[in-house]
Amino acid sequence: MHGKSGLPRQGDQNPAMLPRSLPRWLAVTSTQSPKARWFAVSMYEELKRPNVLYEELKLKFGYMGVVNHKEVGVWDLFAILRGVRNKGDLGFALQTMNLFYNFGVKLKHREISTRLLAATMLAREESEAIELIKLYGSWLEHPPDSAVVYAVMSKFLDEKKPMEVRELAKLVREDWRFRLETPLYSLAIQAMLKLPKEQEPLRAAMILREDALQMGVRLPVKVQLQLLDESLKAVNLEPSGGSEVQSDAPSEDAPAEDVTDATDATAEDVPGESSEASAERSLSHLKDAVHLADALAQDGHVRGGASAATLCSLSWLFWHLSAISSELRQEVVSDCHAWSISCSDWTWSKTLEAACANFHSQVGFSSQLPRGLFQVLEASEDPEAQRLVERCRQCFGRFYPKA
């Protein structure tokens, strides 16, 4: 029955007579050679392939629709789903679900949709995963677990597929059986910021932020800072979408010039577009930045122990505010609640000094700092700006953002 190596011969490999659990396999071959143990594990894994399990499962169903529900259940489906690795394996899992449906085997387990979604992603069938999240309600009772849905969204985000993330976020947002949570909005906002310029990524992200506020979902500080930096970057962008430019640095001791917007002296108007429209759009971005900073202050991310990234972004905002008239500045911050408590007496230089002071603490350390602020300071002829650039280079070291 056995060869010299202790392995069963080719003709003796009857799957029906082999142990069906891995511990029994290892117990049977514990006294044999490592090669025999490797063969045992390989045979066990082969017997657990979806195609083998599916063929064995079909034998339990009668030709006249008679099935013993004590022998056939959802655990047989789970065993097949565990072995899914490619499109063919996924096909056997779907055939199993169709077989259960035709023979009246109940598919009411809460984890069916979750495990099917995970198996779909393992089989690299992304389009099928989207369809499952979209249409699960037509044939399954329970939605997939939100954590697995977020994992699918993260995979699409890593692969730079923002439209797929947008579609999944829309499906989850409109499904009452999903609970609206922070990861949903965080992933969707990050995906919106990666949209092409012609699709207005910042506007789409800000719409999601407003929806999160209305639904009572609080965004993490990382996402709020990302929106703040993008809003400040948009203030100085040319209307045509060109590179960022910055005027001479405003002096904190000298009175601010009476200008209507922070970008009147920096942004060039595109042909056929009025300067008023450009100024209004830039002012809108500045107001969004102020509201984002106010939200950071309300959440307690500005008082005491603020991170260097937060303080650098606030310094960038104060730089813009110091370039507009006092009347316009008062109008911009008039509807902010926490602004007067936390930030009213701060200047861009004081805030940047605080960022340097907090950088080496456990709370204040930040590996990613806004490049836009330091581009502005490096291009400025203000002695205070040049001094702080040198101090930041010494303080931040290799974390100083470079072009």
In three-state form (DSSP H/G/I as H, E/B as E, the rest C), the secondary structure along 324-372 is CCHHHHHHHCCCCCCHHHHCCCCCHHHHHHHHHHHCCCCCCCCCCCCHH
Q: Which of the given ranges, 48-62, 228-242, 347-361, has the highest pLDDT on average?
A: 347-361
Domain match, 137 and 228 both: no
State the pLDDT confidence band at 65, using cuts at 50, 70 and 90. Answer: low
Angle (nearest 5°) at CA 51 between 155 and 25 = 95
pLDDT at residue number 348: 93
Residue 47 belongs to a domain: yes
| 175: three-class secondary structure by DSSP | coil
163 and 228, same domain (yes or no): no
Higher pLDDT among residues 403 and 259, named by residue: 403
Q: Among 16-20, 183-187, 334-338, which stretch is predicted with the lowest mean pLDDT?
A: 16-20
Q: How confident is the model at residue 156 (pLDDT cuts 50, 70, 90)?
A: very high
Looking at residues 175-194, what average pLDDT do you find? Answer: 96
Residues 230 and 88 in one domain: no
Residue 152 lies in a domain: yes
Domain co-membership, 51 together with 125? yes
Tell me: pLDDT of 123 over 70. yes
Q: Which has the higher per-residue pLDDT, 32 or 16?
A: 32
Segments forming the whole domain that contains residue 330: 224-234+293-403
**Is 300 found in the same domain as 156?**
no
* Same domain membership, residue 159 and residue 228: no
- Does a structural domain hold residue 162? yes
Q: Are residues 84 and 228 in the same domain?
A: no
| Residue 95: predicted pLDDT | 93
Residue 98 domain-assigned? yes
Higher pLDDT pick, 265 / 73? 73
Same domain assignment for residues 148 and 229 = no
The tokens for 90 are 């996924």
Assess whether pLDDT exceeds 80 at residue 48: no
Based on the fold, state whether residues 311 and 400 are members of the same structural domain. Answer: yes
Same domain for 342 and 228: yes
Name the nearest CA neighbour of 121 among 141, 98, 149, 100: 149
Q: Average the pLDDT over 306-322 and give the result.
A: 91
The predicted-structure confidence for 237-279, as pLDDT tens digits, reads as follows: 644 333 333 444 454 444 434 333 433 434 444 444 567 777 8
Q: Quote the CA–CA distance of 299 and 216 in Å, as a whole number.
A: 13
Q: How far apart are CA 303 and CA 182, in angstroms?
A: 23
Distinct helix (H) and strand (E) counts, the chain: 19, 0
Please report the sign of the dihedral spanned by the C-alpha atoms of residue 304, residue 305, residue 310, residue 312: positive
Residues 142 and 229 in one domain: no
Stronger pLDDT, 336 or 59, i.e. the higher one: 59
- Sign of the C-alpha dihedral computed for residues 156, 158, 161 and 167 taken in this order: positive
pLDDT number for residue 12: 45
Question: In this model, does residue 188 exceed pLDDT 60?
Answer: yes
State the average pLDDT over residues 325-344: 73
Say if CB 261 and CB 283 are below 8 A apart: yes
pLDDT of 216 higher than 90:
yes
> Is the predicted pLDDT of residue 39 greater than 60, yes or no?
no
Kindly tell me if the per-residue pLDDT of 6 is higher than 50: no
Shared domain for 230 and 369, answered yes or no, is yes
- Inside any domain, residue 123: yes
Distance CA 137, CA 134 (A): 8
The predicted structure's pLDDT at residue 22: 52
196 found inside a domain: no
Whether 282 maps to a domain, the answer reads: no
Q: Identify the weakest region by mean pLDDT among 3-7, 145-149, 285-289, 360-364.
A: 3-7
320-334 burial, b at 16+ Cβ within 10 Å, e below that, comes to bbbbbeeebbeebbe
Q: How many domains does the chain have?
A: 2
Q: How far apart are CA 370 and CA 348, in angstroms?
A: 14
Is 258 inside any structural domain? no
Q: Point out which residues pair with 8 in neighbouring strands.
A: 2
